[in-house]
Structure 1
Amino acid sequence: MSTGVVALGEMGDKTQLLAVLLAARFRKPWPIIAGVLVATLINHAFAGAIGGAVAALLGPDLLRWVIGGSFLAMAAWMMVPDKLDDAPAGNSSRFGVFGTTVIAFFIAEMGDKTQIATVALAARYADLFAVVAGTTLGMMLANVPAVFLGDQIARKVSMTLVHGIAAAVFAVLGLLTLFNVGHLF
C-alpha cells in the first residue's frame, strides 16, 4: 500500500522534477540516485515516527477520523500540480553531486505530499519499518526513471491522469478508513 500510494503521489511532484533537474545538471545518475535514497530514508523515517507518535496519542476512534480526513485531503491536494520552486540555486555543487542531491531532496520533501502521506500511513499501519520501506521504494520507483529518462517521461505520461489516479487511491483509502473497513488491507 505504501509503495503504490507514494509512487503514484510522486509522479509529477516537485521532487521528481528536481530529480530531472539534477540529472540534467550533473549527468551522473548513480550519485543522484544514492542521494535520493538517503534523503528519502531520513525524511520518511522521521515522518513515520511522527505518524506512530500521533497514533499513540489520539486513540483508535479519533485516529480513524483524523487519518480518514487526511487521506481525503491528500486526494484533493493531488489535483494541485507542483511546480519546481525548491530547486538548488546557484553553485550548490560545492557539496558534490551526492551531497547536493541529499540536501535538495531532504528540503524539497519537507511538508510535501509524499511526506504527509508517510505520516498518515505510519499512523494507520503499525509496522513503521514496512511503511518507511514501502514509501521509500515508492519514491525510488518514481524518481530513478526520472533520473535516467528525464524529460522523455514528462512528454509521454499525462500528469493529470496520474494525479487523478493517485487522488482516487487516496479518496478510497480515506473512505475505507472512515467507514472502518481498513482491516481489509
Structure 2
Amino acid sequence: MLLFLKVFLTEFIAEMGDKTQLMLIALTSKYKLRDIILGTAAAILVLNGLAVLAGGLVSEFIPDWLIKVVAALAFLYFAVSTIAGEDDEEEEEGGKSKIKFAPLAVFCTFFVAELGDKTQLTAITFGANEGLGAAFVVWIGCSLGLFAADILGMLVGYLLKSKTPDGLLGTLAFVIFSLFGIYTLYQGLTLIRINVCPIPVSLMMIATMVVFIALCIGLFVKKKEKMKGNA
C-alpha cells in the first residue's frame, strides 16, 4: 500500500501542469468528454505498461528525434483541424462512426505526446527499482496517478466549454496545439542536427511556419465563405 501511494503521488505531481494535461483541455473543444476519457485511459494503461514491464527498451529502440517530430506533426494537425471545424450535419449523420474514431484519435495523440515524457520516465524508474515482483502495483499506481491529474484537465476543459463564449475555447485549443507543435518540432529538428546529420534548423522552422500559417489562413477564409453561404 505504501508503494502504491508513493507511486501514485509521484506520478500525479509530475503530471500537474504538463503539456499533456493542457492538451486534454484543448481536446475538449473537439471531442466529447466520454471519448477523451476512454482514449486517455487506454493510452495511459498501455504507456505505463510498456514503461514498467519493458523498462527503457522503448526509448532505446525509438530515437528521441523521431518521437519529437511525430508528436509535433500530431499537434499541428490538431491545430489545423481546429481551424477547419466540424460540419454539424456531417456530425449528426456520421455520429456512430465518429464515436468510434474519437477515442482512437485521442489515444494516438496522447500516446505520442506522452511517449518519452517525464511521467513515463518516472514509471520506468519505479519499474526498474522495484523489479518485476512489484510491476503490477507500480503499473496501477502510475496509471491512476497520471489519470487523476489528467482528469482535472478534462474537467477544466469541459467547464470552459460550457461557460465560455462560442469560439473562445476553439481559439485556445488552436493556440495550445500550435505552440506545442512548433516547440516540439524545434526540439526534434535540433536532435536530428546533433545526432543524425547537420540540417538548417532555423530555415526548416521558418519554412514549416510559413506553410502552416498559409494553410491556416486558407482554411479560415474557406470556413468564413462557407458560413456566409449557409447564412
Q: TM-score, normalised by structure 1?
A: 0.59
Which of the residues 142, 148, 160 maps onto 1:141?
Answer: 148
Tell me if 1:101 matches 2:120.
Answer: no
Partner residue, 1:13: 18
Aligned AA (2:37):
I
Tell me if 1:3 matches 2:8.
Answer: yes
Tell me if 1:41 matches 2:45.
Answer: yes
Partner residue, 1:60: none
5+ residue gaps, structure 1, are: 54-83, 154-185
Written as runs of structure 1 = structure 2, the 5 A alignment for 1:1-185 is 1-26=6-31, 28-51=32-55, 87=75, 88-89=77-78, 90-91=80-81, 96-126=101-131, 127-150=134-157
| Alignment CA distance shift 1:149-1:109 (3 Å) | same
- Whether the aligned pair in 2 keeps the contact of 1:39 and 1:102 (CA below 8 Å) is yes
Report deviation, 1:52. Answer: 8.7
User: How many residues align structurally?
Assistant: 122
Report deviation, 1:50. Answer: 2.5
CA displacement 1:126-159 (0-9 Å, x = unmatched): 3111111011001111011211113979xxxxxx
Q: RMSD of the alignment, in Å?
A: 2.8
Report deviation, 1:123. Answer: 0.8
Aligned partners of 1:32, 1:138: CA distance in 2, in Å?
17
Aligned partners of 2:40, 2:104: CA distance in 1, in Å?
10
Aligned partners of 2:125, 2:159: CA distance in 1, in Å?
32
Partner residue, 1:56: none
Aligned partners of 1:151, 1:106: CA distance in 2, in Å?
21
Report deviation, 1:35. Answer: 0.7
Which structure's residues are more often helix, by fraction? 2
5+ residue gaps, structure 2, are: 1-5, 58-70, 87-97, 161-231
- Whether the aligned pair in 1 keeps the contact of 2:47 and 2:111 (CA below 8 Å) is yes
| Alignment CA distance shift 1:145-1:42 (3 Å) | same
Aligned partners of 2:159, 2:8: CA distance in 1, in Å?
23
Tell me, what secondary structure is at the counterpart of 1:4?
A: helix
Aligned AA (1:110):
L
Tell me, what secondary structure is at the counterpart of 1:25?
A: coil
Which aligned runs of 4 or more in structure 1 are off by greater than 6 angstroms? 92-95
Identity %: 29
- Whether the aligned pair in 2 keeps the contact of 1:51 and 1:121 (CA below 8 Å) is no
Aligned partners of 1:120, 1:143: CA distance in 2, in Å?
21
Aligned AA (1:32):
I
Of structures 1 and 2, the larger Rg is shown by: 2
